C-alpha cells in the first residue's frame, strides 16, 4: 500500500489558502476518482482506494500544519507503509505559483509541516511533491501570505498543474516514486516546441 498525505490547516477559514495546497490537490484528485474522505479515530481525514490492483490511502491531517507528523506516523504504523511509499504534498514559497518539484527525500526546506513529519518519522526518506505558491510578500509578512487565499489569476495557473500533479500521484500509487519520475521525464520529451503546455519545474 502507498499513502499520499496533503499538508494543510483544518477548517473553512483556511480551505483555499496557499498553505492548504496539499488539501486542495487531494480533494481535486479524490473528486476525479469519486472518493469521499471520512474522519478517522485519530487526527486526520482519510479515504481508501485502489488503482490497477495497487491499494492506497489519501490523508488530510486535522491538526495544524506544524503538527502534521502525528497523522503521518499513525498512517505509516497503522497501514504498515514503508516510508519511501509515503508521498507528502506541501506548499513551497521558493517555487513560482503552480510549479512542481518532486523529490525522493531531503530536509524540510523551512516548511514546519515537513519538519514535523521528519521529526515524528525520525527520517527524511519520504518523497515529497512541493507545489509552488510564489513569494509575492514583503519582508516579515510570510505568515500572512501563506495563510491568505489564492487570487483569481493564481487559480487559473493551478488548474493545469492540478491535472498534471494528479497524474504524477496516480503513477506513484501504481509504481512508486520511480514511476512518477519516469512519467515526468516522458512528459517533458513529448512537449511541442513553442507550445504553452510546459510542465512545472522538477
Active site residues: 19
CA dist 46 and 85 (Å) reads 16
- What is the SS3 assignment for the chain? CEEEEECCCCCHHHCCEHHHHHHHHHHHHHHHCCCCCEECCCCEEEEEEEECCEEEEEEEECCCHHHCHHHHHHHHHHCCCCHHHEEEEEEECCCCCCCEEEECCCCCCCCHHHHHHHHHHCCCCCCEEEEECCCCCCCCCHHHHHCCECCHHHHHHHHHHHHHHHHHHHHHHHHHHHHHHHHHHHHHHCCCCCCCCCCCCC
Amino acid at each position: 500500500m502507498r499513502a499520499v498525505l496533503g499538508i494543510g490547516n483544518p477548517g473553512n477559514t483556511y480551505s483555499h489558502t496557499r498553505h492548504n495546497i496539499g488539501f486542495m490537490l487531494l480533494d481535486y484528485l479524490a473528486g476525479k476518482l469519486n472518493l469521499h474522505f471520512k474522519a478517522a479515530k485519530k487526527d486526520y481525514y482519510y479515504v481508501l482506494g485502489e488503482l490497477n490492483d495497487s491499494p492506497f490511502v489519501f490523508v488530510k491531517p486535522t491538526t495544524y500544519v506544524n503538527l502534521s507528523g502525528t497523522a503521518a506516523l499513525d498512517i505509516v504504523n497503522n497501514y504498515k507503509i514503508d516510508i519511501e511509499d509515503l508521498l507528502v504534498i506541501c506548499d513551497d514559497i521558493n517555487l513560482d505559483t503552480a510549479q512542481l518539484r518532486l523529490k525522493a527525500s531531503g530536509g524540510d526546506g523551512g516548511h514546519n509541516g515537513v519538519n514535523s513529519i521528519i521529526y515524528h518519522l525520525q527520517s527524511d526518506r519520504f518523497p515529497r511533491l512541493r507545489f509552488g505558491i510564489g513569494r509575492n510578500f514583503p519582508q516579515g509578512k510570510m505568515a500572512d501570505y501563506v495563510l491568505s487565499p489564492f487570487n483569481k489569476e493564481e487559480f487559473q495557473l493551478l488548474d493545469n498543474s492540478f491535472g498534471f500533479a494528479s497524474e504524477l500521484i496516480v503513477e506513484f500509487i501504481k509504481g512508486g516514486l520511480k514511476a512518477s519520475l519516469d512519467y515526468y521525464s516522458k512528459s517533458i520529451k513529448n512537449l511541442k516546441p513553442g507550445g504553452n503546455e510546459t510542465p512545472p519545474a522538477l
